Amino acid sequence: MINIEKDTNEVYHSKTEYIGSTSLKKIKQSPLHFRDCEFKKTDALDFGSAAHAFVLEPDLFHSEYHIFDEGNRPEPEKTFASKLNKIWKQDIYGDHANVISSEDYQKLIEMKKYLFSNFYAKYLLTKGVNELSHYIDVFEDVGCKFRPDSLHVKKRIVVDYKAVADASLEGCMKYIANYDGHIQAAYYTDLFEHCYPSTKPAQFIWVFQEKVKPYGVNILKASSQLLDCGRYEYDLLLQEYRHMKETGEFCGYEVFADNDFGIIEVNLPAWKIKEFQFKNLKSK
């Protein structure tokens, strides 16, 4: 059975009976990290969430986010990490309110203006269906879920918007590599094709945008090679996920050992191996 719902991001993440790409990537660190992972909020994540809402769900942003004048904080020379500023912010907005400074709000306005000046970026992010949760009861023998930033069913396009520090081609490729973007791309593409079967293959497209001026935009499409690499890895991770569910075993790093003792033999990395010769030593 496939359930497609327009729910909140919080509801989507609460449905742990389904496995999403973020959790799959946590298994890649180790099953133990998957089981005991704790979500930690950071300023970068908070701003990224606000940017997503502002671009993809503007009505939701204006109903849920509070914009405040950071100049009124008791220690204006310090960030909101300081104790007094934290207390001041909590007294006004509480623990769970979504708040954003007027400075960051102005930045979001400028980012969106430049983002939507790119015709195709605007099309990808506004002409599809945004933030739609999909729950698949059985895919590769497990329950799976995905929540694309934007979805173009007729055009067969899955879109992911990323607010990043560096949107150059090199910066984007580093981001994809560092955050296992190939796994998400393959997983989302295959789940999309499972939910919306067609003879026309689906495409996965990233819209990257810099969080600093001039807020540059880069649009990248996942190649068949990238998707194949992601597909290979997510299949292995799903196998491990099935094993964890069946056995209740959540191994740490020993899961990567090829023996029963959990001992991993290591070599010196190639980048550390250097050839050198002292000039005052002569061969005899």
**How many other CB atoms are found less than 10 A from the CB of residue 236?**
13
Has residue 238 got a pLDDT over 60?
Answer: yes
Report CA 141 to chain centroid distance, whole Å. 24
- State whether CATH 3.90.320.10 applies to domain 2-37+118-247: yes
Structure tokens at 173: 């490729």
User: Which of 150-154, 223-227, 241-245, 270-274 is least confident?
Assistant: 270-274
pLDDT of res. 38: 76
pLDDT at 91: 78
Q: In 3D, which of 180, 183, 175 has the Cα closest to residue 208? A: 175
pTM equals 0.86
Q: CA-based diameter of the chain, in Å?
A: 81
**278 or 228: which leads in pLDDT:** 228
Beta bridge pairs of residue 159: 150, 205
Write down the H helix ranges in the chain.
Answer: 9-14, 21-29, 31-36, 43-56, 58-64, 83-93, 102-117, 119-126, 169-178, 181-195, 224-247
